[in-house]
Amino acid sequence: MNRPQPVERMVEIVKKLPGVGPKMAERLSYHMLKMPQEEVDRFIYCIQNARQTMKCCSICCNLSEHDPCLICSDTTREQSIICVVETPQDLIAVSKVKDYKGLYFVLGGALSPLDAVGPDDIRIDKLIERLKSDNISEVIIATDTDSKGEITAVYLADIIKTLDIKVTRLGYGLPVGGDIEYADEVTISRAIAGRKEM
């Protein structure tokens, strides 16, 4: 016997979520079948409500209930520095660092030649336009440190330099609170290159 069709369809669509394999999709689906009605209603409401209320800020492309978002409309922030991140989640991570008082730009992904994600698939044009029109003195590139993020950083830096704007990249090194024993070779090598006198 196979799963009944309605359950099968549910499992199939849950399986499409990122990081959800066949076993997990089955587990989630059967769980959602057993959930009390009010819990399912709330689950669906939260999805629909978030989708309806969250907008893409027309300046930085961050997800926000407001447009422009609270960061872009905050005139006390330093207006000449932009930190470029891949996703809204990355923006939240960087924004928790109290020292940074500049603005942001969310690319919406990273270049990935293997997945056929090219410059037109992320918001590079929109970033360049903004750099040309606003008075920006520095762009801090805070894309991920995996190969996609690296490619994107190099690609962006090349373009931004032609605009006579300073480009920086977040420093590499050992993560704070980490055990050197578990750090990979590339990270240690970068940490040695970036060593500081005490």
Amino acid at 39: E
As a whole number of angstroms, the distance between CA 91 and CA 108 comes to 11
Q: How many positions of this chain bind a copy of itself (CB under 8 A)?
A: 51
Taking CB under 8 A as the criterion, which residues in 23-42 touch a copy of itself?
A: 24, 26-33, 37, 39-40, 42
As a whole number of angstroms, the distance between CA 160 and CA 138 comes to 9
Residues sharing a CB contact under 8 Å with residue 132, sequence separation 6 or more, in sequence order: 163
As a whole number of angstroms, the distance between CA 158 and CA 136 comes to 16
Stretch that binds a copy of itself, among 22-30, 124-132, 165-173, 182-190 (CB under 8 A): 22-30
User: Pattern of binders to a copy of itself over 55-94, x per CB under 8 A?
Assistant: --------xxx----xx---------------xxx-xx--
131: its two tokens? 């750099």
Decide: is 175 part of the binding site for a copy of itself (CB under 8 A): no
Nearest to 130 by CA among 171, 179, 165, 170: 165
- Residues forming contacts to a copy of itself in the complex (CB under 8 A) are 1-7, 9-10, 13-14, 16-20, 24, 26-33, 37, 39-40, 42-44, 46-51, 53-54, 63-65, 70-71, 87-89, 91-92, 95-96
